[in-house]
Structures are given as structure tokens and as C-alpha cells.
Structure 1
Amino acid sequence: MSLPSSSSYRPDIDGLRGVAVMMVVLFHADFGFNGGYTGVDLFFVISGYLITGLLFKELDRGGIDLVSFWERRLRRIAPALLVMLLVTVGAGYFLLMPDAFSSLGESVIAQALFCANLYFWKDSGYFSSASEEKPLLHLWSLAVEEQFYVILPIVLILGHAWLKRRRGMSTTRRTLVRGLAWLWGVSFVASVVCVYRDANTAFYWLPPRAWELLTGSVLAGLPQTWLPRTKRIRHWIGSLSFVMIFVAGLAYEDETPFPGLAALLPCLGAAGLIWAHAPGENVPQGDRSWTWRLFTWRPLVGIGLISYSLYLWHWPLLALAHYLNVSKEGLAVGVRAALVVAAMLLAWASWKWVETPFRKKGLITSRRMVFGLGLGSIMTSLMIGVWLVRGQGLPERIPESALNYARGRDDRDLTASWTGLEAAQKGEFPQFGAEGRPVRLMLWGDSHARSLMPVLDRLCEENQVAGEMAIYSATSPTFGFYRRSRHGLNERTELLAEAVLARLKQTQASHVILAAYWMECSGKDSVRFENALVQTVQRLKEAGPQVWVVLDVPTQPYDVPKALALGGLWPSDAVAMSTSMEEYHVANKVMQSLIPRLKTAGAHVVEPMELLTGAKGRSRVEHGGHSLYIDSHHLSVTGALFLKPLFEPLFK
């Protein structure tokens, strides 16, 4: 007999849901809990435990009814989700610029096809919209669960049938649990490896995430004899699990490699609490630990009951508010608090008038109607998404002057490509400038280097020379140092650096330009970064070329195209809030202090701020009705060409 998961109501699990959703909400609303995103991992464990427990019960009764299983999933997920989608799209019609509205349509389509996680995986990166401004970003986790719900019952049905024929019923359950444990191990190893090789894939894809759901699945299959039998043991397990969850929630940060090994802490914490609180034959109701009393506290259980709707509603409210905000300070505390309260009120209304009636068959009684609702939800979402995408975000809603600014997001050089590491090691680097002419220039850096491509390409064409680029996102152009980032090469930065040096010696290029998001490169070890950059200049000088170091362009406190465009709809002056000269020097103090050492090492220092300083000592963000940026810190093609006088000396 397995550990009971659904034979009776478990208020402690609703309490755990309440903790999980509040961790996520408080994290997103910036009210502490730097690692509050681990609340999603708690949900994964809970979901795996409850769903697998129900499926095991059906197996015990003779077999899994897939149609009934998916009917329950549809009743649980579809109605509240559809209402949230319709309201979010309706709000987007009045609030979002065409690019953001079209992107919202794409995410609606992805959600309808159960692959929102893959869409946001593909959409993530330096040149995508800020993650906090994507109203449906939170649906990635729902897609992971949906994919798991499709695969798990089929695996159990096939495994159960095969084992029943070969071994008989006596060992089937135990073998199935062992099989799930084996899958857990494979998925966990994949997660650990993937988080260091491709963190985005590890975060969004099901295979590196499946072990978190399978943690609950394996727990649901454990026999009752494995339950902790004494109050003392339950207290210790519950207490330790509680600490594990809150250490992860409070100590983890955005930069923590995740999921991988780091996800063990919250997942085992959730599993430990479920295990310690599980009812058993020798565990009387009064013999409960302090964690049981905490997680069955009625207000916390109440939040757990509305946790699904709260998760659905909190993020669109915050994302739309972030999208509309162009102030330097971000959303005020009062605004964020009001949004959290609004989300809870909407969640309660959704739970009472949408979730509950559908789950209890108060509105739709027949199975045919349920599947009709599911199909209707999918078709409605697809039609809305296609309408927004094919209509390119319905630009006719927006004045032309605002559209010109909004188009700044797409004003980028699409021909500039990332440099593949393997290709670079073979001496193959993407070229620009005059085709077939000698290579006289190497551009080495990250996405900030890539944003300079339009001006360098034009100057190379005018001077009939060619250039090559060694560009990889979030990867500093340095020897002996790397910037840790989900998007970068990380430990493999040195491999690219050595390939660049070898190529420079081979081509005997006259110039090498180093450009990067320097203020992010140094991270928490500025001294090591400074020494590495100086040594990099020295090594490049020894190889022969002139070395040019391009300082950062001013980072603005808002998304520039969006802020300029919104200024055309209602009062806001993005130009007056752009970065001042003083703010620029403070933000870039590491590179500013490093200039003398760079010059001593033989580098020419290029300072874009000279040309980008406008009226009243503030940086320029627009020119001739067009944005100079594609976001807050990458230049647009218009912005790059604005810097042409800075780079003309390279060609003289």
C-alpha cells in the first residue's frame, strides 16, 4: 500500500501551496525573497505527488482512465486560464505598443499549443523584451506541467501492462516506482549538466525539469512502512524541510545557477514536508509537529486554495505595470502592494466563480461539454494569437509619431551574427565590410560590440577593407576572466579568446576593437576584471594590431523605444529622464578609473558619451524622431551611425 496522497483531504498541502505562491508573488513584486522563484519548484513537487498518487489509485482499481484524467485536468486548468488570457489581451489592446502586442499574440499561440516554455526559451536573450514586461511569461511553468501530464499517465499505463504480463501484480507497483526513480536520476543529471552548458534550456525545458515533478511522483509511490513513525522524527524532518525551503527562498539570487543542484534544496524541502505530514496508521491526529500546525493555519490554507488563480493573475498585473512605467525609480512600493492586493482579489473571484463551479461540475456537467470547452479554449487562443501576429500588433491603434519611436526596437543590424565557438577555433569568423578585400579589423566583444556593426560595416565599405567579428552574448573580450551569465560562454570564454589571438596573428589585422557591456562584466570582482582587461590589451599589442577599447554607451533607466513611444500617448518626458553625465560616470566608475592603465598598456580609448551628450548634460536617446537605442543599453542602427565620427580615425 502506497503513501496516501488523495484518499483524504490534506490541508497541509494547500498550506504548502500557499507558501509556494506567496514566495513567487513576493519575489515578482520585489518584496524580499530573492529566491522566491523556487516557489515554482515547490509547485512541481506538489503536482507530481498529487497527480501520480491519483494515477496509482486508478492502477490499483484496474487501470488508468485517460479520458477521465484529462477531463479533470481540463476542469482544473482551462476555465480560469481562458478568462485570464481574454482579460490580458483586452488590456494589451489599450496599453501595448505593436511589437509588444504582437509578442503577446505569439505567447498566446504558444500557450494554446502547450509549448509556452519552448516559446519563452527561444524568446529569451539580450535582444528580447525585458522579462518583467511579458504578461504571459509565467505560463512557461504551466506548459512544463501540461507536458508532464500528457507523458506520465501513458508511461504508467504502458509500464503497468508490460510488468503485469511479465511479473504479475505483486511486484508491479514497486517496479514502477523504481522506474520513476531511474527517470528521476536521468533527468537530474541532465539538469546538472545543462545548467552549466545551456542555462536557458535547463530552466525552460521539460527533460531537465522533470525530476522535480518526479520527486513528488516517487514520493507518492513509497509504501506506508517508509513513513516516519515517531513524533520526534516527524518534527525533525518537518523542521529541516522548512529550513531548506526558506534558505532557498531567501538566499538564492538571480545569478544562482538554476535549476541543477541548487533546485535540490527547495524540492527536497517540499517532499520532506509532504512526507513528514502524511497520515498513517500509527500517527494519530493529535501527534502532529509544529510544521503541521503552521501549514494547516487557515489563512495559509485559504491562500493555497486560490493559489492557481493567484499565480495566473499576479504576473500580468505586474508585467503591464512594469511596461507602462518609465520612471527611474521603478514601481513605487505602494503601487506594487496595490497590485498584489488586486491580484489576490481577482484570484479569489476567479476561484469562487470560475474554478470552483467548473471543478464541481456546477456549470458543465457532461464530459462532452468539458472537452468542447477545452477545444474551444484552444481555438479561441489560436485565433486571437494569429490575429495579433498577422496584424503585426495592430499598429493602426497608435499615432504615427509614436510608432516611429516604437520601431526603434527593430532598428538593428540583422546581418550581424554570433560567432560560433567551434567555428572560431577553426579560424572561421563572420566577416563584414567590403567583400573580398583584406581583413584589417577584428571586432571582439558581446552584444554591445554587435550593436556597433552598422557603423563599422559602413566605414569598412567606404574604405574598401574587410573586418571580422568575434561576438558572443554576455561574454567579455578578455583573457583569464569571464563574466558569468545564463547567455554567455562562461568558463569557455578563454577558448574564444585564444581563437581570436590566433586569428589576429594569421590575418595580421591592423586593428582590434574591444567593446562590451563593461559595467556588467566586472561583476563582484572588479580588481580581477581590471587586471585581466589590461593584460588582454598587452597580449593583443604583442600580436601586432592597434587596440581600441570602446567604453559603454549610457545605460538608460528605461526601455528607450517604448518610453519615447508612450510619451506620444500620454504625458511623460523620457528625454528629461535620460542618464546624466554624473550618473554615467558613477555607473561606469570601474572603467573610468581604468582608463589611465589602459592607455599605458597601449590601448586607444573611445568614449561614446562625447557624442551622446545632449542638452542639460543628459545623454541623447533620440534623433530626428527616431530612437538611438533598441532597448535600455543597446544602440540601434540610427544610434550606431550617430557615432561615425568616433571611429573614422581607425581608417586614417
Structure 2
Amino acid sequence: MTSLIAPETTAPPRAPDHREPPTRGRALELQGFRGLAVLSTVVFHVWQQYYTYDAAGSHPPVDSPYLGALLSLEVIDLFFVMSAYLLTLSYARAAIDGKEGSVRPGRVFLFRRAIRILPLYFLAVLVVWSTRNPTLPGDWRDLVEHLTFTHVFDRERIFYTLGPTWSLSLEVAFYLVLVALGPLAVRACRGLRTRRARVALCASGCAVLFAVPLAWIYGAHYVLGVPHTDWPVYFGPQARFGGFAAGMALAVLLTALGDDRGRLRARWTTALSAAALAGLLTLSHLSAPENFAQTFYHPIAAVLWFALLYATLHIRHRERQRVRWHGLLRARWATAVGLISYSLYIWHEPVMLWLGTSGLLPSAQAGFPVAVLVAVLVALAVGTASYWCVEYPASLLGRAKDSRGRAREFYPETTTTR
């Protein structure tokens, strides 16, 4: 899924210069990214619970502003950039290099995305909503909005039931945009004679998709004076699509470069990764209510995640093993957490809230590290069970159709030979 298209070249192919196939290494590193990001999300929401939602209003878990910047670092834009990168790759290859056989029909794409997210999501919504609404009709509007992914447009209910799942509303919106614009880009590129023109067209489209949310945010905040607490204005797809546009641009860039051009040496990938991470921490540190860093936090963060992912994905093959950052991303514990990242993301907030209401989390400021440890361990256990009992079995339904949308034919195994 993360393989790259080789550039047009007359040079003979070179033998592999490392033991691990490049696509396998990149897949592991992206899975490690997901593992680290979802753990950071769990810690962030525990931090929010202690700091932002404390009844006294003055319950900071840490005194250091730099550690606070690390704890409060939001990684949701990383999920958006990675998702858009992976899902746009086939369209980028088709548009730029004419590899149209790699593009699945829209109905197949949407079917597989639905199999990926809906069974677990619907189950979690129904379980959590029913426990919080023991008598009918309950808050039926909240249930309907969550089941239709429209809660992101409701200022009051956007964070009800499963708070973090407002981001899934944006994911679904991105899927619809991609299956609409992707084939259009492929058809538009057919009429262009040069590869450079095709790359320019695709890159320009990504730039426009990134610029639209910037204009929306600027108009909402600086022209209309809409406060940041008007959640649908700043959390809706019209404001947050920049993360997806950055991921689409990354797919276009790496497809344009191919498998050889523009690859970084170890020292350059280390420097670029460090600079991107430092930028993200600085952005988190500078972000304050109603200032520039908070207003444009997510578009800026998307650019920095773009740089970090580029440094991670486009390093020279033989130097990949020399970068410690890559070793961390490929560590078994990080990739194992990445495997269950979706289940962990879905369940961690209700687990955290249940632990709090049950008195299993400390309430004093000094107990914050213990609260993080307990919440992470219990959420990991629940996420693991959810993956193997719900998410993985549901994913097997994706094998019911082939890449062209035709139903697969299954034949019983036999040992008879002719």
C-alpha cells in the first residue's frame, strides 16, 4: 500500500541494497507512527481531563510549560495527513504515470472504507449512548447525528457520546471528496503530454484544497470575529481539510520523485525530522486562546507533519537502518499498538471516563502520572480485545469483493488430483 512508482528512466534497475523490502519498511514505520500517535492521544485526553475540565478550573498537572506543550500536542492532523497520503497514492500514480489499473472503482473504495470503520464505530456508539441514555427516547438527536457522522456540525453535541470521533466525520467527508476528485484528476491528466505538466496539475489541485481552509479560517476569525469555541466553524471539514490536502500533496510529491530521486541521506532525514518535531512543539507551546498560533494551528501542524513524513518515507534505502527514529517506529511495541490504533482511539475516552467515575483514577494533581499509566494500560487491554473480537473479523468481509468490485468465488479445498 505504501510502495512508490519508479520514475521514468533509461538506467538499468539496481539490485536491492538492504535486506528489508522498502515497501515493508515504510509500512512498518507508518504503523509505528499510528501507534505513537494514538498513545499520545490517550495521554492528551487524560491531560485535558485534569487540566481543562477540572471543576476548580485551576488543576494543571505539570508546572513546566515545555512539558505542558509536549502533553498538549495534538496529533489529529498526523492521522489526516497519513490517511490522505495512503488513499491518494493510487490516484497519484494513475494521474502522473498512467497506472490506472491501481485505482479501484469508487464503489469498491467506499465499500472497503465502510468495512474498515463502520462495524466497530456503530457498536461503540450504540454501547456508549445506551449506557448514558438508559431510558428512551434519550437524546435521540445525538444518536442520529453520530450514526450519520453529522455531529461535527452540531455545536452542542459535537463531543457527545464518543468525543474524539468528530474526526471520523471529516474522514468520511474526505472519502467522498477523493472518489469525486480523484477520477477527475486522472481524466484531466490524460490530455497532458508531459509528466511535468501532470505533476504540476496535481500539485496545483492540492494547493487549492489547502488554501480554501486557510481562507475560511481567516474570514471566520479575523473578518467575522467567530470565537474558537464555535466548534463547527473550526472543526468542520471546511476548516480542517488542510490536513488531508497536505497528505494528498505528499502522495503527489513522492509519486513524482519516484523510488530513487530526492531520497535523503541519514543525516538530512534526522535533521529534517528534528526540525519538524521542534516546530510542532514550538507551535504547541506558543498556542494560546485567540492568538495566531491557535487560529492557524492545524494548517501549520499539517505542513510540519508533511515534512516529518517525507523525511521518514523518502530516505535512502541503505541508510534507513542508521536512523534511530526509524528504529523506534519499527519497534515491535510501537507497531503492535499501531495495529490496534483504531480500536484504541474509539474506546479510550469512554474507558477513561469510566475509570474516573468509578474512583479508579487519582483526583489530586500529584496523581496525574498514575492516572495516565492506569488509563493507558486499561485502554490498551480494551483496544486489543476490540481489535481481535470486532475489528479484525469485520475486516475479513473486505475479501468478499476483488479489486474491481466483483464477488469472489470460493472453492472448497481438496486433496484430489487429476
Q: TM-score, normalised by structure 1?
A: 0.48
Which of 377, 386, 391 aligns to 1:350? It is 386
Classify 1:47/1:161 alpha carbon distance in 2 versus 1 (closer, same or farther; 3 Å). Answer: same
Distance 1:108 1:217 in 2: 32
Residue 148 in structure 1 maps to residue 182 in structure 2: no
Q: Deviations over 1:490-524 (max 9, x none)?
A: xxxxxxxxxxxxxxxxxxxxxxxxxxxxxxxxxxx
Query: Does the Cα contact within 8 Å between 2:34 and 2:341 map onto a contact in 1?
Result: yes
Residue 138 in structure 1 maps to residue 164 in structure 2: yes
> What does 1:385-464 align with in structure 2 at a 5 Å threshold?
none
Distance 1:367 1:111 in 2: 28
For residue 301 of structure 1, report the CA deviation from its aligned partner.
1.9
Matched residue, 1:117 = 152
Residue 69 in structure 1 maps to residue 109 in structure 2: yes
For residue 206 of structure 1, report the CA deviation from its aligned partner.
0.4
Residue 276 in structure 1 maps to residue 301 in structure 2: no
Letter aligned with residue 4 of structure 2: P
For residue 187 of structure 1, report the CA deviation from its aligned partner.
2.1
Secondary structure in 2 matching 1:269:
helix
Q: Which runs of 5+ in 2 are unaligned?
A: 6-21, 48-60, 63-67, 406-418
Residue 56 in structure 1 maps to residue 92 in structure 2: yes
Distance 1:22 1:256 in 2: 28
For residue 337 of structure 1, report the CA deviation from its aligned partner.
4.2
Secondary structure in 2 matching 1:114:
coil
For residue 351 of structure 1, report the CA deviation from its aligned partner.
1.6
For residue 227 of structure 1, report the CA deviation from its aligned partner.
3.0
| Structure index of larger Rg | 1
Q: Deviations over 1:98-139 (max 9, x none)?
A: 8xx833x423211222212112x3547xxxxxx6xx332211
Which of 347, 350, 354 aligns to 1:313? It is 347
Which of 294, 301, 304 aligns to 2:335? It is 301
For residue 228 of structure 1, report the CA deviation from its aligned partner.
3.9
Which of 236, 248, 252 aligns to 1:205? It is 236
Distance 1:81 1:172 in 2: 38
Classify 1:23/1:285 alpha carbon distance in 2 versus 1 (closer, same or farther; 3 Å). Answer: same
Matched residue, 1:292 = 326
Q: Deviations over 1:56-83 (max 9, x none)?
A: 3455432541011112201210122122
Matched residue, 1:28 = 45
Letter aligned with residue 352 of structure 1: W
For residue 314 of structure 1, report the CA deviation from its aligned partner.
0.7
Matched residue, 2:78 = 42
Query: Does the Cα contact within 8 Å between 1:160 and 1:172 map onto a contact in 2?
Result: no
For residue 345 of structure 1, report the CA deviation from its aligned partner.
0.9
Classify 1:220/1:262 alpha carbon distance in 2 versus 1 (closer, same or farther; 3 Å). Answer: same
> What does 1:159-170 align with in structure 2 at a 5 Å threshold?
159-164=185-190, 166-168=191-193, 170=195
Classify 1:202/1:114 alpha carbon distance in 2 versus 1 (closer, same or farther; 3 Å). Answer: same
Q: TM-score, normalised by structure 2?
A: 0.72
| CA RMSD in angstroms, aligned pairs only | 3.5
Q: Deviations over 1:17-69 (max 9, x none)?
A: 12221222111112765663611111111111111114334554325410111
Higher RCO, Cα 8 Å, sep 6+:
2
Letter aligned with residue 43 of structure 2: L
Distance 1:117 1:159 in 2: 28
Classify 1:305/1:255 alpha carbon distance in 2 versus 1 (closer, same or farther; 3 Å). Answer: farther
Query: Does the Cα contact within 8 Å between 1:242 and 1:291 map onto a contact in 2?
Result: no
Query: Does the Cα contact within 8 Å between 2:287 and 2:293 map onto a contact in 1?
Result: no
Query: Does the Cα contact within 8 Å between 1:184 and 1:211 map onto a contact in 2?
Result: yes
For residue 87 of structure 1, report the CA deviation from its aligned partner.
2.3
Residue 15 in structure 1 maps to residue 40 in structure 2: no
Distance 2:306 2:117 in 1: 23
Query: Does the Cα contact within 8 Å between 2:83 and 2:247 map onto a contact in 1?
Result: yes
Percent of matched pairs sharing the same residue: 20
Distance 2:245 2:383 in 1: 28
Distance 1:299 1:253 in 2: 34
Q: Which runs of 5+ in 1 are unaligned?
A: 125-130, 372-652
Classify 1:152/1:114 alpha carbon distance in 2 versus 1 (closer, same or farther; 3 Å). Answer: same
Distance 2:193 2:301 in 1: 37
Query: Does the Cα contact within 8 Å between 1:235 and 1:289 map onto a contact in 2?
Result: yes
Distance 2:39 2:213 in 1: 27
Matched residue, 1:185 = 211
Matched residue, 1:224 = 257
Secondary structure in 2 matching 1:207:
helix
Distance 1:328 1:238 in 2: 36
Structure richer in helix, relative to its length: 2
Letter aligned with residue 50 of structure 1: L
Structure richer in strand, relative to its length: 1
Matched residue, 2:123 = 83
Query: Does the Cα contact within 8 Å between 1:3 and 1:221 map onto a contact in 2?
Result: no
Distance 2:36 2:383 in 1: 15
